[in-house]
Amino acid sequence: MELNRRTVIAGAAAAGMAATALGGTAHATGGRTPVKSLFGKLADGTKIYSWSLANGGTKLKVLSYGGIVQSLEIPDRHGKYKNVSLGFDNIEDYVAKTPYFGALIGRYGNRIAKGQFSLDGKSYQLSVNDGVNSLHGGIKGFDKHVWDIEPFTKGTDVGLYLYYTSVDGEMGYPGTLKTKVTYTLTKHGDWRVDYEATTDKATVVNLTSHVYWNLAGEGSGSIYDHELKIAAARYTPVDSGLIPTGELAKVAGTPFDFRRTKTVGEDIRVANQQLLYGKGIDHNWALDKGITAKPEHVATLRDPSSGRTLKIATTEPGLQFYSGNFLDGTLVGPGGSIYRQGDALCLETQHFPDSPNQASFPSTVLRQGQTYRTTTVHTFGN
């Protein structure tokens, strides 16, 4: 059944009533119905809400600002819960200084060289916010907008629909882009993200999520001893501005070879021009499986100390692995800890950076009448 806003709300209300009738309460951690509470206000008075949902042992808090995952709690091997994503406990810090903590990224996750591209013979100049380049959608990307959020329960799933419409010309991008992102917690505690978008004019789109993972718990120190495996024999080397050269280089014999499990820190200090450019790892892996109709497993992250694991499956062809290099000890998390370099890592499923200017990369063009659809599934274990 195609869900519209009315059935979504009716379904959520019915699930809440059922929970109450059984003597349960639809509260943040135990009940199945997502619960909304006030998180704070923007300077102009706009209220920002936090949505709490839980299912299958995973607890998630999502903000209407940027669709931000403000907290994601999972148990360790002894059942002890920790929030494994970096963030803040107040809206002011998210507005003033977030490096995209937990946010939805659009219209274009990652960099576009000089913020320029041509499509169908027309040139576009995007908002530039990273030296001469455009990063994560420009100065005011999707991470800095307020999203409409509706809760749902559907079978054994619990989740949120997040809506944002970006007007024609916003940040320089052509076409009105209607975006719907679905966050689902399954009965197994998987966090599934489905992205959908339509446009009324040809444009480029590359949506992703920017959770900073630390499976030992946010604020617990570095992730250099996390173990990682990525199913990719090639990656996209970059120039000093972190724009791909266009080559799909082999990872074999380089610090970028994660085909066998190794710790994030094992090769991070190896003298290597690419690591110098990124101040560590800040690169896109060209996943062996390429674009797939269904999400396929591409990466496994494990924290040996807690036993917590994260497996990522995606329909996307690329994975940006960013080792938190620009965390510089100036931000303080919700638990009161200062975040320093390497205190978290991002695994952003997406198309390759600068695809609009790289004819050999898979296309990121979306045309009128088409629907952009991608899915990424995060599976947790311990």
- Angle value at C-alpha 117, between 116 and 123, nearest 5 degrees: 95
Cβ closer to ligand BGC: 115 or 175?
115
Is 339 a residue that touches ligand BGC (CB under 6 A)?
Answer: no
Q: Between residues 73 and 348, which has the closer beta carbon with respect to ligand BGC? A: 348
Closest CA to 350 of 152, 210, 160: 210
Minimal distance in Å, beta carbon 341 to ligand BGC? 12
Other beta carbons within 10 angstroms of residue 62's beta carbon come to: 27
Residue 348 beta carbon to ligand BGC: minimum distance, rounded to whole angstroms: 6
- Regarding beta strands 58-63 and 47-55, do their DSSP bridges make them parallel or antiparallel, or are they unpaired? antiparallel
Distance CA 231, CA 285 (A): 9
CB of 105 to ligand BGC, least distance (A): 8
Q: What stretch of H or E contains 92?
A: helix 91-97
> Can you state the percent helix, strand and coil of the chain, rounding each to 5?
10, 40, 50
Q: Which is nearer to ligand BGC, 168 or 326 (CB)?
A: 326
Please check whether residue 112 is in contact with residue 133, taking contact to mean a CB–CB distance below 8 angstroms.
Answer: yes
* Annotated catalytic residue, options 73, 170, 348, 378: 348
**Per CB under 6 A, which region of 71-79, 83-91, 189-197, 318-326 contacts ligand BGC?**
318-326
* Residues 125-184 contacting ligand BGC, CB under 6 A: none
Q: Which residue has 């590359």 as its token pair?
A: 206
Catalytic entry in 210, 283, 351, 378? 210
Q: How many whole angstroms separate alpha carbon 205 and alpha carbon 370?
A: 12
Q: Is 346 in the site for ligand BGC (CB under 6 A)?
A: yes
d(CA 94, CA 140): 13
Which of 214, 315, 320, 364 contacts ligand BGC by CB under 6 A? 320
Cβ of residue 282: shortest distance to ligand BGC, in angstroms?
5
Q: Which of 99, 69, 107 lies closest to 85, judged by CA?
A: 69
Q: Which of 51, 65, 88, 100 binds ligand BGC (CB under 6 A)?
A: 100
Q: Does 282 bind ligand BGC (CB under 6 A)?
A: yes
Classify residue 223 by its DSSP letter.
-
User: 20-79: which residues touch ligand BGC (CB under 6 A)?
Assistant: none
State yes or no: is 378 an active-site residue: no
Of residues 99, 141, 317, 342, which one binds ligand BGC by CB under 6 A? 99
CB of 80 to ligand BGC, least distance (A): 29
Nearer residue to ligand BGC within complex by CB, 100 or 191: 100
Q: Cβ of residue 61: shortest distance to ligand BGC, in angstroms?
A: 20
For the bound state, the minimum distance from the C-beta of residue 185 to ligand BGC, rounded and expressed in Å, comes to 24
92 catalytically annotated: no
Using CB under 6 A, which of 322, 339, 372, 380 touches ligand BGC? 322
Applying CB under 6 A, the site for ligand BGC has a residue count of 9
Retrieve residue 254's tokens. 């380089």
- Residue for token pair 């929030």: 83
Cβ neighbours, 10 Å, residue 37: 10
The CA distance from 351 to 316, in Å, is: 6
Task: State which of residues 348, 372, 374, 376 lies at the interface with ligand BGC (CB under 6 A).
Answer: 348
Q: Answer for the pair 87, 70: CB distance below 8 angstroms, yes or no.
A: yes
Tell me which residue of 62, 74, 343 sits closest to 214, measured CA to CA. Answer: 343
Q: Which residues bind ligand BGC (CB under 6 A)?
A: 99-100, 242, 282, 320, 322, 326, 346, 348
Q: Which residues are catalytic?
A: 210, 348
